[in-house]
Structure 1
Amino acid sequence: MGDTKSKISATFYDDIVSPFTYLYVKQRQSLTSKLEIKPTPLLLGGLLRVTENKGPGEVAAKRPHTYQFCIWQAEKLGIPFRFPENHPFMTVAAQRLLVAKDADWLMVERAFDYIWVEGKDPNLSWSEFCTDLNLPTDTPKPESPAVRVKLIANTNQAKVDGAFGVPALVVNQHCFWGVDTIDWVLDYLARPSMFEEVSYAYAGHVPNGLS
């Protein structure tokens, strides 16, 4: 293992409802030698609302294309993949549980595997979901005000950090959204002045010709 003191801290915003976040989690090892990444659960639905955005599962024309692309991408990467019984589904209870347990990467990955490897909706089999997370089968769905507030705070902080969906990795106040940005993050780490270059600076503030 690398020396964590020499690594750059990064925040990874996640919600288990996202298949692209699952695919990112399975590829994160390419970043861990350079970054100390903290998994941070949020509510994707809440983030989409506060950023006036929509998930692909909410857009009828986009839904089958997106889902079938996930299947193809998982096949290309050799990553096990299976859609759950329902999608999208409510993740409030599961995300609260990850917050309540201050879930490390092992627990986070187990949660994603339950959805995207076993193909299950935790709302339909809560006890089994908890067992998969190495928790007692009678673990209740978290309802404490502190956990609720923390999950909402994570969601709001994601917006402040520039996230408008998941997966989103925030490094040095730069937000990299999407599973296809892993290589971009690696290039940025090798070239930390990237966003100060003229072309990048301009692209970040191009005038909107439709406004």
Structure 2
Amino acid sequence: MTSKIPATFFYDIISPFAYFYVKQRKRLEDKLDITPIPVLLGGLLRATENVGPGEVAAKRPHTYQFCVWQAERLGIPFRFPEHHPFLTVAPQRLLLQEKADWQMVERAFDYVWIEGKDPNLSWSEFCAYLGLPADTAKPNSPEIKAQLTANGLQAKAAGAFGVPALVVNQKCFWGVDTIDWVLDYLARPGMFEEASYAYAGSIPNGLLP
């Protein structure tokens, strides 16, 4: 039996695209041993001088309606929460504190994107939904805060500039639409050393002096 290749999945439950990725991760699981790592998308965006679609007025409704279409196309249940974006500091800290496995991670995404709820507005219900005591407190320890920040720095160092981001063999694949690319890469591991890929990765920026 061939051993699986280790991979890292950076996520934030704020992202509908990360939700779509989680629902399709089984396409990769016979080849990859994927470890989910929570990050704060807002912090990662700021660290990489990037912005999310929710911060661009013209892009926001287009992106949200695209998500509805994509969910229909994939046959995945989908419902926007009461408002979006919203702060995910507390739920992401909780998932980190609990060392959330894939089952808990998926439940957290389901709470937002199937139940259509903001965990901050129904914290006790969210905790129970994850299989935790309803009176679980919002994590506030310096260690958890520091670790979540460190996770974001790890993501940035690995080449991530948003979520979902999968890192395998030191290659970062961003976005739910890169699942097929990952599969092709695993079948052709020398892909990025090929001349066309090497050239595309080193083209000078014509907008810089």
Q: Which TM-score band applies after superposition, normalised by the shorter structure?
A: over 0.9
From 173, 193, 196, the equivalent of 2:193 is 196
State the alpha-carbon separation in 1 of the partners of residues 138 and 202 from structure 2: 44
Instruction: Report the RMSD for the aligned CA atoms in angstroms.
Output: 0.7
Whether 1:134 aligns to 2:131 is: yes
User: CA offsets, 1:114-161, max 9 Å, x none?
Assistant: 000000000000000000000000000000111111100000110000
Q: After superposition, what is the alpha-carbon deviation per residue over 1:80-105, rounded to whole angstroms, capped at 9, x for unaligned? A: 00000010000000000000000000
In the other structure, the counterpart of 1:80 is 77
Which of the residues 79, 102, 122 maps onto 2:99?
102
- For structure 1, the 5+ residue unaligned runs are none
Please state whether the residue corresponding to 1:69 is helix, strand or coil.
helix
Q: Give the letter for the 1:169 counterpart.
A: L
SS at match of 2:155: helix
Q: Which residue of 1 aligns with 2:17?
A: 20
**Equivalent residue number for residue 123 of structure 1:** 120
TM norm structure 1: 0.98
Moved >2 Å (runs of 4+) = none
AA aligned to 2:34 is I
Deviation at 1:210, TM superposition (A): 1.0
In structure 2, the partner of 1:177 is: 174
Tell me if 1:186 matches 2:149: no
Residues matched between the structures, number: 208
* Match in the other structure for 1:168: 165
Q: Distance in 2 between matches of 1:97 and 1:202?
A: 42
> 1:199 offset after TM fit, Å?
0.5
**Secondary structure, counterpart of 2:70 in structure 1:** helix
From 42, 46, 56, the counterpart of 2:53 = 56
CA separation in 2, counterparts of 1:142 and 1:160?
26
